[in-house]
Amino acid sequence: MSKTQDDKNKSDGYGDHDTASLDYKAIGLKIKSRRKALGITQERVADKLGVNVTHVSNIECANSHPSLSLLIRIASILRCSVDQFIGSEYRYEVSKDQSIEDQLNQKIQRLSGEEKEILSKMLDGLIK
């Protein structure tokens, strides 16, 4: 007995998926945890996604179920992979170097263009 194309697609992961099996509450909590670990606001994520901040909040609270493409974009913004959100055993720990780098990035984002140029020159002098 041979499988139909639909049966093959479902068994190899390319057909219809039962999205109800995804734990959106856990996904939302992992997104929120990662975002906070990086010190990124919901507003910043929403801005980068081009969505309303309420949508980001709803995803984090499991009131809205993000599409795979949106999860990929969120993971990119939060510098991680999607499997870290949908995997059940994921625990993210910020390394000390990464944490310092993230803090510096946050501070740099608040600088004006002129202040960034000054900082760049200061760093050039420090590195030489």
- Tokens at residue 82, please? 């999607």
Predicted confidence at residue 102, as pLDDT, reads 79
- The low-confidence residues of the chain, meaning pLDDT below 70, are 1-20, 88-98
Q: pTM for the whole thing?
A: 0.56
Asked if 35 contacts 78 with a C-beta cutoff of 8 angstroms, the reply is yes
Predicted confidence at residue 96, as pLDDT, reads 65
Please report how many Cα atoms fall inside a 13 Å half-sphere around the Cα of residue 53, on the Cβ side: 5
Predicted confidence at residue 47, as pLDDT, reads 96
Strands (E), 38-97: none
